[in-house]
Amino acid sequence: MKITVIGGSGLIGAKLVRKLGAHGHEVVAASPSSGVNTLTGEGLTEALKGASVVVDVSNSPSFEDAVALKFFETSTRNLLTYEAAAGVGHHVALSVVGIERLPEYGYFRAKIAQEKLIKGSSIPYSIIRATQFFEFTGRIADEGTEDNTVRLTSVLIQPIAANDVASAIARITLGTPVNGTVEIAGPDQFRLDDLIRRDLAARNDPREVISDPHARYFGGELSERTLVPGDDARLGETRFENWVHQPARQIPNTRLQPAVGMGRREQLMTNSKPMLVLAFLITSTLITASTVMAQKAVTPLMAQEAITPLMSKDLAEFPGKEIVMYTVEFPSGFSTPVHRHNAYVSLYVLEGSVVMQVRGGKEMTLTPGQSFYEGPNDVHVVSRNASSTKPAKFLVFLVKDKSAPQLVLEK
């Protein structure tokens, strides 16, 4: 059976493609990097040709209300139109538990609009609503951070591992369309503030979590059960306490906290031991694999920037981790949206000058020979070419989870 996975290179999509392929099915991983664009329709005819099932696990490039709504409405309309023409017999879509209970969150309104289009189509469908992923606990902490504290309400949450999400989607994909909604969640419920407290402790993150009944969740006011599923939800097997201590999570967290009289480079030296380990791995990898070219494309933030892959290599010393290296060229006056990398990132300027800043840090202008560092939870609020007349070029080096996307757009 041929199955097309829209968003097949993302966190869930990549896992799903592997699982379906392991069952002997022909799987197409469709994404902009593979020439398939659901907003314009580019590549859809070929990607859906002969497909029995289409699974949509794609996501909006921004959580901003209008952008998210336009993405999900346009993308879903196009998909359903092309699927009808191709004779697709089952449309599977990933959605979110509780979207109707937080209407002030524009992203959730966009997901409701997506679901409405699917239900109104003539194509048999299955909508899978998942609770929050374990992998996004860091982003929840960042969203609630003020200085060195994290303010969160103490409502219930029942998070699930991304791998369990992919497994659940695979089972439903290979079954009969439910023509309805299935909820999936992790095996255990937590209090939101306690969950993040445990996660930060496991990553040696010094931020203090403060319980605040009025703290907002991505701009919305939570009730006790906004984030948890109903009683008939299908539960994953992975428990948070096991996931959080997996080997891939053992690299010490190097999120840098502001310190009086201490610059970012001096702060970095306070984490010298883990950084020396990474430095050794980086050096040895460059020596042994500097001629290896990356086989997977790096998706650019915007069309104007030029990204050239140079290398990707698994880290045997840290199972589940990989090193990725590429160069980026910013045209004159170019600036990226606010974003975050799911990685330990080092940047080295080759040509021109760039301005960089992470949330809570100082804005820095870097020239050739200078470098910049950011951790997995740092939000990159400024990233632009300092010149309005000349291009800039820099080398980027990432140490990341193999399953994690290299970039996530932020508010």
Q: What pLDDT is recorded for position 275?
A: 44
pTM value is: 0.63
Contact in structure between 124 and 87 (CB atoms under 8 Å): no
Buried b (16+ CB within 10 A) or exposed e, 61-80: bbbbbebbbbbbeebbebbb
Residue 259 has pLDDT above 60, yes or no: no
Give the DSSP per-residue string, 239-305.
Answer: -HHHHTTSGGG-SPP-PPPPBTTB-HHHHHHTTHHHHHHHHHHHHHHHHHHTTPPPSSPPPPSSTTS
> What's the Cα-to-Cα distance from 392 to each of 53, 366, 398, rounded to whole Å?
44, 10, 19
Share of the chain above pLDDT 90, in %: 54
For the chain, how long is the longest CA-to-CA vector?
65
What does the alpha-carbon distance between residue 358 and residue 380 come to, in Å, rounded to a whole number? 4
Highest-pLDDT range among 272-286, 297-311, 312-326: 312-326
Residue 297 pLDDT greater than 50, yes or no: no
The partner residues of 94 in beta bridges, in order of sequence, read: 128
| pLDDT tens, position by position, 134-186 | 988 988 998 889 888 999 999 999 999 999 999 999 999 999 999 999 999 99
Q: Strands, E, within 41-116: which ranges? A: 53-56, 90-96
Burial of 349 (C-beta count, 10 Å sphere; 0-12/13-18/19+): buried
Determine the Cα–Cα distance for residues 132 and 143; give it in Å rounded to an integer.
14
231 — pLDDT class (breaks 50, 70, 90): very high
Distance, in Å, from the CA atom of 55 to the CA atom of 13, rounded to the nearest integer, reads 9
Q: Is the pLDDT of residue 72 over 50?
A: yes
**Which residue, 132, 143, 92, 124, is CA-closest to 108?**
132
Considering Cα of 390, then 391, then 393, then 398, what sign does the dihedral take?
A: positive
Block residue for tokens 């949450």:
157
Weakest-pLDDT range from 103-112, 257-266, 302-311: 257-266
